[in-house]
Structure 1
Amino acid sequence: MNFKWLPNALTIARCVFAGFVLVGFWQAMRLNPLPNGLDADAVSRQITLQQLWFQFAFLAFLAGAITDFLDGWLARKLDAHSRFGVWLDPIADKLLIAAALLGLGLKFQTWLIYVPAAMIIARDVFMTWFRATPRGRSAIVPSNLAKWKTGFEMAAIIGLMLPLAVLRPDAGGEVSTGTSVLAIVATVAVVGLLWTAAVLSWWTAGQYMRAAGRVK
């Protein structure tokens, strides 16, 4: 039986998971702030429902990240390479990252998330367009920085989404993480990873542009 369609199916699934991430965040945020006048049981049920939507978004992101590994592995294993897959794979990656960043911005509503998220999304939109141009298609940039950038993005997003999924919000809908030194350090580290990924995203874009400029 021919399974060469599997890598492309997983890539398409990653686009669907990106949509699920946004749905999870949107539904969770619709429950925040909690309406006044609810009794304790109603508040508890609504908080639980909100956390379930955050868990839905987190699991959708993880599932999308797993498909990113699997489709590449299967493409090599099955020798299943197609122009459609080559075109869609990076777009699916960017959609998944953008969906998570938009959801996190919607949740935290702070410039500490807005600015790096906007930098990363703007860079990805620009590079998607540029790679579609003749000069962009011809550029080859052998750089490990892009892998580091992706790693920092994934670590930051997981680090920001995980507390929403596993820590129960308080009555105001905010995740209670305590004020311990460890919690503060962890928060600063995760946000720092996101800013580092944002800077690296434009650094690697610059590398790509310079390489494209050398193409004749």
Structure 2
Amino acid sequence: MHWTLPNILTVGRLIAAPAVALVFALLPRPLADWVALALFIGASLTDFLDGYLARKWNQTSKFGAMLDPIADKAMVVTALALLIALSGLDPLVMIPTALILFREVFVSGLREFLGADAGKLAVTKLAKWKTTAQMVAIAVLLTAIAFEATHLMAFQTMTREAYQAALDAGPTDGNMVWRSGEWGVGLGIAGLALLWVAAVLTLITGADYFKKSLPFLREET
């Protein structure tokens, strides 16, 4: 294996996957929320960048081709598990998350069973959009939760009079008490909608993959 920049970015994304959750064991909130968000967004950007650079610089490798989907799934699965914990087992988060995780495990098992034949099933554009939708939905929800944690800290540390005055002041410059509350709610609604869209796309691509794999699953007579 050659330590090319694309491969280094892929390995970095793999390492960032558990770090997104582990920061909550090491840092207080809301700092942990913002660090986790930065790690997730940075790692998500490398998902596009490593493949682009590998093709542009002619640095594609078997190691990169093997590790790239593993890093993607590790990042998504870890972040989804974190969202379930941070949402307090909210059904609106748990249901689409369970559907996404089911599809990812099912397709991974199917790929393993097919072995060499799995390479004959090309990744579709819809599957790429599915991954993008998942990462955008997770990023938006992590942002919403970070704003909500920031707002909660303000509520817990400020006097009641100062907190109420900040809310009454509205969207003035630098009023993070008001902004964190309003933005947290708005981004939370948007993130949930995106997560459900990602779940639907995930199921569609999973069904398509299974359908295309059927010829390789038929018993020989």
Q: TM-score range by the shorter chain?
A: 0.7 to 0.9
User: What's 2:172 paired with?
Assistant: none
Q: Which moved more, 1:53-62 or 1:155-164?
A: 155-164
Question: Aligned equivalents of 1:16 and 1:137: distance in 2?
Answer: 26
User: What's 1:8 paired with?
Assistant: 7
The amino acid that maps onto 2:204 is: W
Decide whether aligned partners of structure 1 residues 80 and 64 sit closer, same or farther in structure 2, where only a CA change above 3 A counts: same
User: What's 1:23 paired with?
Assistant: 22
Query: Paired residue for 2:51, among 59, 72, 76?
Result: 72
Q: Given the alignment of the two structures, is residue 112 of structure 1 paired with residue 92 of structure 2, yes or no?
A: yes
Task: Give the fraction of aligned pairs with identical amino acids, expressed as a percent.
Answer: 35
Aligned residues: 190
Question: Aligned equivalents of 1:93 and 1:113: distance in 2?
Answer: 20
User: What's 2:67 paired with?
Assistant: 88
The amino acid that maps onto 1:162 is: T
More helix by share: 2
Structure with more contact order per residue of length (Cα contacts < 8 Å, sep ≥ 6): 1
Decide whether aligned partners of structure 1 residues 19 and 185 sit closer, same or farther in structure 2, where only a CA change above 3 A counts: closer
Q: Give how far 1:54 is off.
A: 0.8
> What is the SS of the residue equivalent to 2:60?
coil
Question: Aligned equivalents of 1:99 and 1:127: distance in 2?
Answer: 17
User: Is the CA contact 1:120–1:198 (under 8 Å) kept in the aligned structure 2?
Assistant: yes
> What is the SS of the residue equivalent to 1:151?
helix
Cα displacement string for residues 91-125 of structure 1 (whole angstroms, at most 9, x for unaligned residues): 10111111111111111121111121122122212
> What is the SS of the residue equivalent to 2:152?
coil
Decide whether aligned partners of structure 1 residues 70 and 126 sit closer, same or farther in structure 2, where only a CA change above 3 A counts: same
User: Is the CA contact 2:144–2:185 (under 8 Å) kept in the aligned structure 1?
Assistant: no
Q: Which runs of 5+ in 1 are unaligned?
A: 29-48
> What is the SS of the residue equivalent to 2:110?
helix
User: What's 1:128 paired with?
Assistant: 108
Q: Please show how residues 34-73 of structure 1 align to structure 2 within 5 Å.
A: 49-73=28-52
Question: Aligned equivalents of 1:107 and 1:166: distance in 2?
Answer: 13
TM-score by length of 1: 0.76
Q: Given the alignment of the two structures, is residue 152 of structure 1 paired with residue 151 of structure 2, yes or no?
A: no
Question: Aligned equivalents of 2:25 and 2:15: distance in 1?
Answer: 15
Q: Which moved more, 1:197-206 or 1:185-194?
A: 185-194
Q: Give how far 1:191 is off.
A: 0.5
Q: Which moved more, 1:122-131 or 1:204-213?
A: 122-131
Question: Aligned equivalents of 1:50 and 1:60: distance in 2?
Answer: 15
User: Is the CA contact 1:4–1:78 (under 8 Å) kept in the aligned structure 2?
Assistant: no
Cα displacement string for residues 2-52 of structure 1 (whole angstroms, at most 9, x for unaligned residues): x86221221111011111101124446xxxxxxxxxxxxxxxxxxxx3111
Query: Paired residue for 2:122, among 123, 140, 152?
Result: 140
Which has the greater radius of gyration? Answer: 2
Q: Give how far 1:188 is off.
A: 2.8
